[in-house]
C-alpha cells in the first residue's frame, strides 16, 4: 500500500520568530492517522520548526509526528558557493528535501542535469527526496501527448543518473506540479493529474532495470501540486493514482491544512481497509 503524504511548501514566507508557532498550530490541527505530514519552511526557519514539531501535541493518534523538509539544496557537496546550502548541512534540521520545484527551474534556470545532481546529493545525505516535475502552459495547450513527453523526460533525466539501490531505498516521492497551475489559482483536473501520475510510473520503468525494488513502478508515491486547497483536494484524493499533495500557499493556513489532511486521511483509511479486506 502506497503511503498518503501531505507536504507543505512555505516558500519564502515566515521568519524564525513566527514559523515555530505556525508549525505547532498546523501540527496540532492535522493529527490524522495514516497521513505522513511534512512541513518545508525557509532555511532560516528549519531549527525553529524542528523544535516546535518536537511538541508531543502534534503527534497523531497512531504516534506519527510531523517531519521537516528543506525546499532546496546545492548540487555540490561543498565549495565556494556563497549563499548556498549543501545537503550535508541539513543533518539534524530536516529529513526531507524538495528537488526541482518549478520555481527553481523557471526562476533560477535549473536544468534537468542540475536537478539530477541535486537528487544525488539528497540521496547521499540520507534525506528523502520529493522530486518535482511538470509542464508549462504552452505544452499543456499543445496536447496531452506533448505534456506527457516533457514530464517523462524530466523524470528519466533526473532518475537515470541516480539509478541504483540507493535511489529506491531513499523513499523517493515524485510530485506532479503543472507549472501553469502554481500560484495562479488554476489547477489540473483530478483525471488529468491521475493520467500524468500513471505516465510518471510508466516512465519509471525505463530506468527500473537498474533500480532494485522498482518492479513495475506501481509502488512509486506520486503527489499532486498546483494551487491545492481545501476546495479541490477531494477531486485529487478521489483518484487512486494520486497519493497526496504538495501544498503551496494553503500550507500557511491552519484551517486549510486541517481540511486537506482530513480529506487525505479518508483515503488513507480506505486504502488500509481495502488491504485488510
Residues with active-site annotation = 101, 177
Distance, in Å, from the CA atom of 23 to the CA atom of 167, rounded to the nearest integer, reads 29
Rounded to whole angstroms, how far apart are CA atoms 62 and 68? 18
By the 8 A CB rule, do 246 and 40 touch?
A: no
Provide CB contacts within 8 A for 89, sequence distance 6+. none
Per-residue b or e along 28-60, where b marks 16 or more CB atoms closer than 10 Å to that residue's CB: ebbbbebbbbbbbbbbebbbbbbebbeeeebeb
Return d(Cα 88, Cα 50) in angstroms, integer. Answer: 17
Other CB atoms within a 10 A radius of the CB of residue 189 amount to: 12
Rg of the chain (C-alpha set) = 17
Contact 122, 87 (CB under 8 A): yes
Q: At 33, give phi and psi (nearest 5°).
A: -65, 145
Strand-pairing partners, residue 7, are: 38, 246
The 3-state DSSP class for residue 231 equals coil
CA atoms within 13 A on the CB side of 178: 26
- Is 245 in contact with 224 (CB distance < 8 Å)? yes
Q: Given 3-state DSSP classes, what are the helix, strand and coil percentages for the chain, each rounded to the nearest 5?
A: 50, 15, 40
Amino acid at each position: 500500500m502506497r503511503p498518503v503524504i501531505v507536504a507543505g511548501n512555505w516558500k519564502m514566507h515566515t521568519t524564525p520568530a513566527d514559523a515555530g508557532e505556525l508549525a505547532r498550530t498546523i501540527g496540532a490541527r492535522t493529527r490524522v492517522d495514516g497521513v505522513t505530514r511534512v512541513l518545508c519552511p525557509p532555511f532560516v526557519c528549519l531549527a525553529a520548526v524542528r523544535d516546535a514539531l518536537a511538541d508531543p501535541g502534534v503527534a497523531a493518534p497512531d504516534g506519527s509526528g510531523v517531519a521537516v523538509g528543506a525546499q532546496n539544496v546545492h548540487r555540490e557537496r561543498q565549495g565556494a558557493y556563497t549563499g548556498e546550502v549543501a545537503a550535508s548541512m541539513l543533518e539534524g534540521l530536516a529529513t526531507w528535501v524538495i528537488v526541482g520545484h518549478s520555481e527553481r527551474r523557471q526562476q533560477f534556470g535549473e536544468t534537468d542535469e542540475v536537478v539530477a545532481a541535486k537528487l544525488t546529493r539528497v540521496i547521499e545525505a540520507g534525506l528523502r527526496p520529493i522530486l518535482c516535475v511538470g509542464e508549462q502552459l504552452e505544452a499543456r495547450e499543445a496536447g496531452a501527448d506533448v505534456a506527457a513527453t516533457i514530464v517523462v523526460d524530466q523524470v528519466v533525466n533526473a532518475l537515470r543518473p541516480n539509478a541504483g539501490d540507493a535511489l529506491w531505498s531513499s523513499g523517493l516521492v515524485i510530485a506532479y506540479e503543472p507549472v501553469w497551475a502554481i500560484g495562479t489559482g488554476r489547477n489540473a483536473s483530478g483525471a488529468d493529474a491521475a493520467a500524468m501520475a500513471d505516465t510518471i510510473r510508466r516512465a519509471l520503468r525505463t530506468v527500473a532495470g537498474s533500480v532494485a525494488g522498482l518492479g513495475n513502478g506501481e509502488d512509486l508515491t506520486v503527489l499532486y501540486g498546483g494551487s491545492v486547497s481545501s476546495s479541490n483536494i477531494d477531486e485529487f484524493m478521489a483518484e487512486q493514482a494520486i497519493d497526496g499533495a504538495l501544498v503551496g500557499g494553503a500550507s500557511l493556513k491552519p484551517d486549510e491544512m486541517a481540511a486537506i489532511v482530513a480529506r487525505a486521511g479518508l483515503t488513507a483509511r480506505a486504502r488500509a481497509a481495502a488491504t485488510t479486506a
